[in-house]
Amino acid sequence: MKILIADDHELFREGLRQILEQMDPAMTIVEAADFQQAIDAAEREQDIDIVLMDITMPGGAWNDTLPRLKEILPDRVPVIIVSASDDRRQVLETITLGAAGFIPKTSSSRVMMSALQLVLAGGVYLPPALLQQGGDIGDGASVPHGADALLTPRQREVLALLGKGQANKEIARALQLAEGTVKLHVTAILKTLGVNNRTRAVVAAAQLGLAAKD
């Protein structure tokens, strides 16, 4: 596995490297100290599996760099924001621009590893405190009024588990469904709620009071 760490603080990169090596000692780490270096690394390295990026670095703007990374990297490669920011609107903006998750820098190493494993399994990780706040998903991205009433009982169950950030395989196991059936439900949920990815569906679940509070 190859991971790109983009952060302008060498000490944080070193600490994150140590956490990641607990997951896989043979893991390859590529480092970038600013946004331009992150873009250069994405263009140079053809086999990156995941990107961990801070949103406060020199060399550009994060809201320009994130979409650029999504253009360069294959669709399968998630870009996760790891930041000290706790601004809810900014977190939601990263989701709108394509981030697969948001991990606060205040998270413990255990939470960090769990979040990464979840995302690599196809799930979504967002700060529990954000999900518990509810409210709109973001500018122009709120759940259409009454959309939740159009969901079937089974789809609401699937959405509730999406609200916990669970991957399709975990949802299938919990609801005793085929994974293919879960994928069909997820597609229908996204269409009904007017969102275009699982991450925003997780926030939608919080807005509808379906996200986990634990």
DSSP conformation letters of 93-147: HHHHTT-SEEEETTS-HHHHHHHHHHHHTT--B--HHHHHH----STT-PPPTTG
Contact present, 28 and 3 (Cβ < 8 Å):
yes
pLDDT at position 137: 46
pLDDT value at position 33?
96
* 157-173 pLDDT, tens digit each: 898 888 777 888 899 99
pLDDT of residue 114: 86
Q: Which pLDDT score is estimated for 145?
A: 57
- The answer to whether residues 212 and 134 touch, using CB atoms and an 8 Å cutoff, is no
Torsion-angle region of residue 134: left (phi > 0), alpha (psi -120 to 50) or beta? left
**pLDDT at residue number 82:** 94
Query: What ranges do the domains of the chain cover?
Result: 2-120, 147-207
* Chain centre to alpha carbon of residue 108: 17
Identify any residues that bridge with 31 across adjacent strands, giving them in sequence order.
5
Q: What is the pTM of this model?
A: 0.72
Q: Does domain 2-120 have CATH number 1.10.10.10?
A: no
Q: What is the pLDDT of residue 197?
A: 78
Q: Considering the domain 147-207, what is its CATH architecture? A: Orthogonal Bundle (1.10)
Helix or strand run (H / E) with residue 7: none
| Of the candidates 195, 181, 113, 130, the residue with the CA atom closest to the CA atom of residue 152 | 181
pLDDT (0 to 100) of residue 133: 56
Token pair listed for 1: 């596995």
pLDDT at 130: 66
pLDDT < 50 positions in the chain = 135-141, 212-214
Asked whether 112 and 81 are in contact (CB, 8 A), the reply is no
